[in-house]
Amino acid sequence: MSEVHLGCPPDHSGPHVSYFNILLPPQNEPIESSLRDDWNSMGAKVCSLDEDGDLILTRREKKSQDYFVISIQHNITSSIPRVGLQVWRAELLLADFVLHMMYKSSAFHGIVAIELGAGTGLVGMLLARVAKAVFITDHGDEVLQNCFENIHINAGVLGTKASVCVRELDWNNSWPPQVLENSSLQQRYGWSISEIEEIQRASLLVAADVIYSDDLTDAFFGILELLMCENPEKVLYLALEKRYNFTVDNFDVVANGYSHFCSYLKDDEEDDIENECSRSFVGKRINLTEIPQYVVEYDRGNDVEIWQIKKLGNVLLKHVLSVPTSEYVNGSERYFDTHMNQKGYITSDPEQQIIVLLRALFCNVIPMGCERLVLTNRFAASVIQSKSLS
C-alpha cells in the first residue's frame, strides 16, 4: 500500500476518492495607494497621526494564496500488476515540479506531452492546463479506465482546452503500435495514425514511480529509445522513490532497481567519452530544495528524486548542428569522397569526421531516424574528444 493512502479507510474495498489541495503561487496585493502617493510627493507629510496623537503606520496587505482541488479515484491497495490504481509519493513530487514549471515559466505552454506509466493520470491532467495536447499512457484496461474516469471527474476543475487522450502503451511491445480500426470498447484506448504522428512532435515526457523492477526498467528505456530518437529537443522528467530492502545477495540494505536505473545514464557532469558511447541517455538530478510543495497532502521524505533525462544522440546532434556552416562547407565534398571507405565507415581522423558527418547529414546519406542518431553519437563523441566543438 502506498504511504499516501495511510489515512484512507483500511477496510475499504474498490475505488476510493481522495481530494488533493493544489496551492497556487502567492500573489502580492498592490501597495496601498496612500503610501504610493506619499512616496510620489516630495516634501509632503509621509506620516500621519490619529486623534490621540499616535503615529499611523501604512501597512502592506498580506500575501494571499489560493488553491484548487483535484479529485483522484484510486484503490487503497493493489497487486503489483495493478499498482497504477494507487497514488504514489513520486507522482505527487512530479506534480509539484510540473506546477512549479507552469507557474514560473512558459516552457510547458502549448507543447505536446506524454505521460508514461501514468497510473491515476494526475500529472498529465495538470499539464493539460497549459499544454496543447497530452497523451496519458499506461497498460491494462482497469488502469486506463480509472485514469479516464479521473479526467472526467476533474473536467470542470481543470477547465482545459487541451486535447487529452488516454492511450495504451505497453513498453514490451514495438513502437509505433498497430493502428486499430475497430472502435469497440476493447479497443477504445488504441492509437490513430494522426495521434502517432503527433507523438513524434512531442517535446516533453514525464513519468513517476516506474523504477522498481529491473525488467520493467529495461522495457522503459527500450521504449524511450524509440520515442525520443528523432527529436533533439525531447526531454524526460522522471520522479522516483528509492525503496530500501535487505538482500541476501548483497548482505546489505539496498534500493532495489536504483543502481540498474543509473546504469542507463551518463552523468550530465561526466566527461568520459567511452561512457558516452556505451550509454544512450544523459541524466541530471533536479535540486528539490528549489521546488516548493504545492500539493498539500503528502510528506516528501528523503528518498524521492527527480531526474532530467535526454537521449545522448539527441544531445550530441544538437552540438553538431550548432557548428557554423562556414566551418564545414568548404571542401566537404572532397573529404566525403576521400574518407568514406567501401564498408561505409568514416576515417578515424577526428578532424575530418565533423566534415564528413555534417556532409552526410545534410545530403541525406545517413537515413533520417534512429540510425542517423547512432552514427551521430559515434562520430560526434570523437569530435568532442578532439575538442573540435569546445
Query: Quick count: other Cβ atoms within 10 Å of Cβ 87?
Result: 27
In DSSP terms, 267 is beta-bridged to: 283
317 vs 374: CA distance, rounded Å? 10
Question: Which pLDDT does position 178 carry in this prediction?
Answer: 80
Question: Which pLDDT does position 357 carry in this prediction?
Answer: 59
Query: Which residues does the chain have with pLDDT short of 50?
Result: 1-2, 5-6, 29-46, 185-186, 271-277, 325-335, 341-346, 362-370, 386-390
Q: Are residues 371 and 283 in the same domain?
A: no
In DSSP terms, 206 is beta-bridged to: 115, 237
pTM of the model: 0.70
What lies within 8 Å, CB to CB, of 124 at 6+ separation is 113, 115, 118, 134, 135, 136, 164, 206
Counted residue by residue, the chain has a size of 390
CA 349 to chain centroid: 38
Query: Quick count: other Cβ atoms within 10 Å of Cβ 289?
Result: 6
Question: Which pLDDT does position 127 carry in this prediction?
Answer: 95
Q: Give the domain extent around 180.
A: 76-315
* Residue 58, burial from CB neighbour count under 10 angstroms (0-12, 13-18, 19+): middle
Question: Which pLDDT does position 266 carry in this prediction?
Answer: 82
Last residue of a domain, one of 315, 341, 371: 315
Last residue of a domain, one of 315, 335, 360: 315
Last residue of a domain, one of 280, 296, 315: 315
Model confidence over 121-161: pLDDT tens digits?
Answer: 999 999 999 999 999 999 999 999 999 999 999 988 776 67
DSSP 235-292: EEEEEEE--EEEETTTTEEEETTHHHHHTTEEETT---HHHHHH--EEEEE--GGGS-
Residue from 283, 299, 267, 190 nearest 235 by CA = 283
Q: Are residues 176 and 246 in the same domain?
A: yes
Q: Are residues 154 and 121 in the same domain?
A: yes
Q: Are residues 367 and 258 in the same domain?
A: no
Name the DSSP letter for residue 85: G
- Considering the domain boundaries, does residue 171 fall inside one? yes
- Considering the domain boundaries, does residue 365 fall inside one? yes
Is residue 243 a contact partner of residue 210, using CB atoms and an 8 Å limit? no
272 vs 385: CA distance, rounded Å? 9
Model confidence over 33-76: pLDDT tens digits?
Answer: 433 343 344 344 445 656 666 656 555 555 555 889 999 988 87
Q: Are residues 124 and 260 in the same domain?
A: yes
292 vs 124: CA distance, rounded Å? 19
101 vs 109: CA distance, rounded Å? 10
Cis amide leading into 176 (omega within 30)? yes
139 vs 123: CA distance, rounded Å? 17
Q: Are residues 346 and 381 in the same domain?
A: yes
Total domain count, the chain: 2
48 vs 63: CA distance, rounded Å? 25
Q: Are residues 279 and 343 in the same domain?
A: no
Radius of gyration of the chain (CA): 26
Q: Are residues 218 and 255 in the same domain?
A: yes
190 vs 180: CA distance, rounded Å? 6
